Amino acid sequence: METALHSVFTASGPEAVEVLHLISIFVALCSAIWLAVALALFFALGRRRHARPSPLSLDTQAERRAQATVTGLTVLTALCLIGLTAVSYATQAAITADRAPSVRVRVTGHQFWWEAQYRETKPSEWFTTANEIVVPVGEHVLLELEASDVIHSLWIPSLMGKQDLIPGQQNVLRITAAREGVYRGQCAEFCGLQHAHMALLVRALSHEEYTQWRARQLEPASEAARQNEAGERVYISRGCGMCHTIKGTTSGGRTGPDLTHVGSRETVAAGLLPRSRGTLAAWIADPQGLKPGTQMPRITLSSDELQDLSAYLEALK
């Protein structure tokens, strides 16, 4: 797997660049002001006052100078605040500008994973994946954010600032990946026990690769997996389908991630483990041990069942 970018300073899309510019302006101006105040303070501390002949006499000239300085600095402070407000509004307007997206994904935050439903075309062509969003490079993507249980927050630092996912409300986040690559995102609002293990990968592919990926996602469970009848039997008979969906089988659960193409994803359990047959088996054998508090129960399986099941899942490309 390529190393995923995860930093505000590797801004990789126009939205992230806007945010980085804004931060830079704030940091530069505030640092300059802090430095000026610190210098003025040191200067004042080091300066000695000349003793006056009569301590109570008023030095009108000095008074007038002080008044002018205070008035000038007050006006300057107000100007700085107004200026920062203006640039911050301008950034806000630029990153939330209503543009026609070429991909629309409904991202639902769950304890403790991300559901991504692609909704760009007619409902018969919708498909659902988890913990990974694939986007065409350079194209505008609209993420519609929802939550199923508690408040989450989506933060993909290299692509955009944070946005909350709130039950009963839809927020949106607009991203455009300027370069091919993998961008890491993270839940940025404490949402429960496994909040730290709630990562999301955004993979930006060329338009052709994206189209191919999309076509594969629309297909039901792969032929290779379907031929592993023993594995599919364990999946169905052990009740996995109550919570999971594998298109092409009788399962249609919505509580857990859609597993139709779980073998094509990079990670297992929202970035917890890199995906392989071994980690899939480890996860199924003891989800509560690996991710205490996760919403998937431990289901006791024989070692043969576990082998067949993990081979089956791995083949779901």
131, 153, 176, 186: which one binds ligand HEC (CB under 6 A)? 131
The answer to whether 267 and 114 are in contact (CB under 8 A) is no
Site string for ligand HEC, 62-101 (x = CB under 6 A): ----------------------------------------
315 binds ligand HEC (CB under 6 A): no
Dist CA 203 CA 31 (whole Å)? 36
238 binds ligand HEC (CB under 6 A): yes
- CB-nearer residue toward Cu ion: 154 or 316: 154
HEC string of 10-55 equals: CCCCHHHHHHHHHHHHHHHHHHHHHHHHHHHHHHHHHCCCCCCCCC
Give residues in contact with Cu ion (CB under 5 A).
152, 187, 191, 198
Site for ligand HEC in 140-199 (CB under 6 A): 194
Binding partner of 152, given Cu ion, ligand HEC, none, CB within 5-8 angstroms per partner class: Cu ion
* Radius of gyration of the chain measured on its C-alpha atoms: 28
5, 240, 290, 315: which one binds ligand HEC (CB under 6 A)? 240
In the numeric block, the tokens 């091919």 are attached to 180
83, 167, 239, 278: which one binds ligand HEC (CB under 6 A)? 239
5, 143, 221, 296: which one binds ligand HEC (CB under 6 A)? 296
109 binds ligand HEC (CB under 6 A): no
Query: Strands (DSSP E) along the chain, which ranges?
Result: 103-110, 113-118, 127-130, 132-136, 141-147, 152-155, 163-165, 171-175, 181-187, 199-205, 267-268, 273-274
Q: What residues line the site for ligand HEC (CB under 6 A)?
A: 112-113, 130-131, 194, 235, 238-240, 242-244, 255-257, 259, 262, 265, 268-270, 280, 283-284, 291, 294-297, 299, 309, 313
